[in-house]
Chains A and B, each alone.
Chain A
Amino acid sequence: MYGGQPQTIKVVLLGEGRVGKTSLAQRYVRSSFNEGQAATVQAAFFTKAVRVQGQEIEVALWDTAGQEKFHSLGPIYYRDAHAALLVFDITDTDSFKRVKRWVDELHAMAGERCQLVIAANKQDLQHRSVSEEEAQEFAASQGAAYFQTSAKTGLGLEELFTALLSSVLDSLKDQRLHAAQGMQTTGRRHGGLVVASQDSISERKSSTCC
């Protein structure tokens, strides 16, 4: 928590092209925004203010901006991510097969405490080709939470994000406890500057580790 500012939680979207990453983000974020708030073509960074476990939180949701297409997502994308939302399309077996590659990528690039959630997307479609059992089993083997979602109908999204944010908050509490006991923690440290605009003269005085 940055001196009264809400805790920011960074969530990165991962998955092959066309699985519905951007749609999921827009669906989740838009529903909480004013109806008039139009999503734009180039949006690749969404923020949403929510209340979880009685705490004000700002969710910063990062979309790949197409950089996954030629495997050119740099380390900055994964930097300090509290959670990764890995998406596949239940009608596209390849997109599921490649989820494994994204999990490996995540282990290499993100911190150990990054929470992993897998979304089996496009539940609104009839012709599913990835079996429910197989997908659940895979998620369990990776220690990932698993949700069935549809960006089109909104199915499963509130549940997914509520669970995701709760597990991030639990993990952060755990880390603070460890930090208080003098153990080293990962992730963002202290006292970053807010380089927001030319006239901002402020510095985050201190922050608990998150």
Chain B
Amino acid sequence: MDTDYDAIVLGTGLKECIISGLLSVDGLKVLHIDRNNYYGGDSASLNLVQLWERFRPGQTPPKSLGSSRDYNVDMVPKFLMANGNLVKVLVHTDVVKYLEFKSVDGSYVVNKSRMEKVPATDMEALRSPLLGLLEKNRVRKFLSYIQKWDPSNPAPQGGLDLQRMSMAELYKYYAVNEMTVDFIGHALALHTNDQYMHQPAAPTAEKIKLYYTSLTRFEGTKSPYIYPMYGLGELPQAFARLSAVYGGTYMLAKPDAKVVYEGGKAVGVTSENETAKAKLVVGDPSYFPDKVRKTSQVVRAMCLMSHPIPNTDNSHSVQIILPQKQVNRKSDIYVFCCSYSHNVAPKDKWIAFVSTTVETSNPEQELSSGLALLGVIDEKFVEVSDLYEPLSDGKQDKCFISRGYDATSHFETTANDVLDMYQRIQGRPLDLSEKDPSKTQTT
């Protein structure tokens, strides 16, 4: 370990592994360390034994659940938007070749306590019981405007300037009703709360476009989401492999790994009386307790079940959004379910996750309307995690720290944080238009 590196990365969560991979591809000499003896940090997928170790130490999982290794239970459940930035990074780095993805069966939204399919196509919108006849026409006009709107052109388009007008004003222009606003903002644009309403319309319009381009990216899919076989824990490992292929060195199980500072700057990492020097240190907030602040909390329930979620057409994988207004909250509740069809559980077992941003002193209670949708739950684990953000951008102290994984149901904010970190470290943005610029792999 007593060697000099260009960069040391602490923690093998998804964000850290992507950065590690990108820096190694750029030719930097990278040392990547984790205090745990497994990959993934907070974004790992655990088997039954690991799950029990974490939540019920000293107890053993019941035999009825089947084999421990057939389970891959995500600690940060999220789906990938098929045309989102994470998929672009996966393609750019060619990391997709280490992974297999499958589309997610269904996308639902709760409206007036009823579970409704999110209309995915024009045809579905026409049939959807979510919208009345006149409303259907207004929604169609609204969506057709968004589809034609070009985000790369800053000028007003069709007489509307989305850079200046707020989203509330745009909704008003198309005279769509409140229920539709709820549905578009939360089930299509995937906002977690209503703060976006009074901000410029352009970013929300882009989010709606992303929903549609994701939906049409692959033929015959019923939702804009994709998910890796064997769970999200595969993603950090795949990027770690990329980093290793480009010369990155991996050391797991270093519980005492600590950043070494000199004159307020990070200069290396020490573990087991050895010190590795580096020009910069990257890591998740847990490795930099003095350099982060707590912003909020997320509560997540992981539920093992022996049946699909009721009223989802027996979907083997599904997302259900409970928009905040429907459940009298400030932030949405997300339900996410996957099963043996994505190889995350043995045959005839399902894993459902319910999560939201914490608003009260009784976080578990806040999940109740989501948990109520699930039917019989065999085993339930609830975790409240603190979200941290870095105090500074790292340019001065050479500490490039990621943010925690928020309550959103997909990876767009995760990918944006990674792209931002990359730009801060390398001083230039990652060009996602080029595919695998170094082209050194024989495939």
Contact = CB atoms under 8 A, between A and B. Distances in A.
User: Do A and B share a complex?
Assistant: yes
Interface of A: 29, 37, 39-47, 65-67, 69-72, 74-77, 79, 184, 188-189, 191-193, 195-198, 201-203
Contact of B251 (A72, A188, A191): A72
A203 B219 contact: yes
A113 B47 CA distance: 20
A98 B203 CA distance: 56
B219 A74 contact: no
A72 B90 contact: no
B101 A196 contact: no
A70 B91 contact: no
B441 interface: yes
Contact of B347 (A44, A184, A201): A184
B376 interface: no
A92 to B, nearest CB: 23
A72 B88 contact: no
Interface string B89-105: 01100001111111100
A40 B440 CA distance: 6
A70 B249 contact: yes
B87 interface: yes
A67 B229 CA distance: 22
Given A44-B245, A192-B102, A70 B440 contact: no
Interface in B201-260: 216-221, 226, 229-230, 233-234, 237-238, 240-241, 244-247, 249-252
Contacts of A76: 98, 230, 234, 237-238, 241
Interface of B: 38-39, 82, 87-88, 90-91, 96-103, 216-221, 226, 229-230, 233-234, 237-238, 240-241, 244-247, 249-252, 341, 343, 347, 435, 440-443
Contacts, number: 111
B36 to A, nearest CB: 11
Contacts of A202: 218-219
B39 A193 contact: no
Contacts of A193: 82, 101-103, 218, 221, 226
A46 B218 contact: no
A138 B100 CA distance: 35
Contacts of A203: 103, 218-221
B38 A45 contact: no
A39 B443 CA distance: 10
Contacts of A40: 440-442
Contacts of B250: 66-67, 69-70, 72
9 contacts: A42-B247, A42-B440, A44-B245, A65-B241, A67-B240, A70-B250, A76-B98, A184-B347, A192-B101
Contacts of A197: 91, 435
B380 to A, nearest CB: 25
Given A70-B249, A79-B230, A193-B218, A44 B343 contact: no
A76 B237 CA distance: 6
B351 to A, nearest CB: 16
B234 A42 contact: no
A84 to B, nearest CB: 17
